[in-house]
Amino acid sequence: MGGSSGVLLAMFFMAAGADIKANSGDDPLTTGFRAGVKSIMHYGGASVGSCTMVDAMAPALEGSDISTIAQLARTGADSTKEIRTASHGRS
């Protein structure tokens, strides 16, 4: 992977995996996803509107199940069509 996306996705999966191990009683997909996105936002410094993968992932934090998370992520990704100025990375 070019750029920082490989590193950011590695951070996502490391945080998601650690969260899933620590919270075995909760829904592992939703809690792991939330931990992964929060890690990317924390270490990458991007927020909604930065024209990065966070624009797709952050809205999905509101989802309560994997289906809703997927729908919200699609909506977030589609919203980047209107962003004209990127503030992070090579977006």
Place of tokens 């209107």: 82
Asked if the structure places residue 76 within a domain, the reply is yes
Q: Rounded to two decimals, what is the model's pTM?
A: 0.79
> How many structural domains is the chain composed of?
1
Q: Which residues fall within 8 angstroms of residue 35, CB to CB, at 6 or more apart?
A: 15, 16, 18, 19
Domain membership flag for residue 27: yes
Q: How confident is the model at residue 37 (pLDDT cuts 50, 70, 90)?
A: very high
* Confidence band for 18, pLDDT divided at 50, 70 and 90: very high
pLDDT band at 55 (very low <50, low <70, confident <90, very high): confident
Cβ proximity of 20 and 31 under 8 Å: yes
Range of the domain at 23: 5-82
Let me know if residue 88 belongs to a domain: no
- Is residue 36 a part of any domain in this protein? yes
**Nearest-angstrom CA–CA distance, 39 and 43:** 6
- Is there a domain that residue 35 lies in? yes
Q: Where are the beta strands (DSSP E) in 19-59?
A: none
